[in-house]
A = this chain, B = another copy of it.
Amino acid sequence: MPKRVVPEERRRRRRPTRSGRVLSESLIVETALRLLHEHGSAGLTARRLGLALDCDPSTLYRYFRGMDDLTLAIGDALIGRALHGWRPAGPWREDLRAIGLRIHTAYLSHPQAAVLTASRVSGRANELAADEAVLDVLRTAGFPLPEAVRVYHAFIDTTLAFAALDAASLALPDAARRADEDMWHSAYARLPAATHPRLAEAAPLLAARMVTSAYPTALDMLLTSAGDRLAGPS
C-alpha cells in the first residue's frame, strides 16, 4: 500500500525491524543475491526474503515497487561487477575475448537476474563504459568506423544473447534443467540410424558437447571472421 517508494538517498528515518535489524536497499539486494545462490531460481520470493531479513514481506514494498523493480536493481549491480577493474592489455583479439567472457561469466553467476536484464538497453554508466571500451579496442586496432560498428554490434549482441540463453538454462527449476541435460543421453543417444543417421553417428559427441556453452566457440569464430576482414582488404 505504499503509494510511493522513498528513494534511498532521501531516507531519513531508519526504523529497525522487530528483530532490531536496520534495512536498506543494498542490504535487500545483497540478501536477494544470496537467496538466489542458496535456493536456486525459485528461491527468491517476497516471503522468503522477508524470512531471511526477519521482516514482513510487505515491508519490501517500502523499498521497491514490486519484485520486478527489485530484480532490475539486482541486474544493475551485475553490469558493474562484470568489467570492474578491467583494462585493455594486449592485442585487440585478446581484449575482446576477455571482455566477452567477463560479461558472460558475470551474467551467468546470477542467471535469474540475467534472463530479465540481458535484452534491455539501460543507457546507464556501466553499460556506456562497456560499449565505449569495445569500440575503443576495435578502433585502436585499426578497424574503419563502419566496420568497427558492424563488428561491435555482432560482438555485443552475441555476448548478451548467449548470456541470456545460457542463463536461462541455469535459471530453470532443477528438475527441468536435469531433464534438458539428460535429453542428450536419452532421446538423442537412442535414435535409430535408419531415421536419423547423422544424429546417430554424432550422439556421443553431442552428449559431451551440448551440455557446455557454445559461447567460446561462437566468439572465436566471430573474432576470426573479423580478423580476416581487418587483414584482408587492408
Residues of A within 8 A of B (CB): 68, 118-123, 128, 131-132, 135-136, 139, 145-146, 148-150, 152-154, 156-158, 160-162, 164-165, 168-169, 172-173, 176, 180-181, 183-184, 186-188, 191, 196-199, 201-202, 205-206, 209-210, 213-215, 217-218, 220-222, 224-226, 228
Q: Which residues does chain B contribute within 8 Å of A68, judged by CB atoms?
A: 173, 176
| Contact between chains at A157 and B214 (CB < 8 Å) | yes
Indicate which residue in B165, B176, B201 contacts A161 across the interface (CB closer than 8 Å): B165
Main secondary structure of the interface of A (DSSP, over half): helix
A138 to chain B, nearest CB (A): 8
With both beta carbons as reference points, the residue of chain B lying nearest to A148 in the complex is identified as B202
A135 to B6, CA, bound (A): 55
| Contact between chains at A145 and B214 (CB < 8 Å) | no
For the complex formed by this chain, how many copies does it contain in all? Answer: 2
| Contact between chains at A162 and B154 (CB < 8 Å) | no
Q: Which residues does chain B contribute within 8 Å of A222, judged by CB atoms?
A: 218, 221-222, 225
| Contact between chains at B176 and A165 (CB < 8 Å) | no
A31 to B157, CA, bound (A): 32
| Contact between chains at A132 and B199 (CB < 8 Å) | yes
A221 to B139, CA, bound (A): 19
| Contact between chains at B123 and A214 (CB < 8 Å) | no
Q: Which residues does chain B contribute within 8 Å of A197, judged by CB atoms?
A: 132, 136
| Contact between chains at A119 and B153 (CB < 8 Å) | no
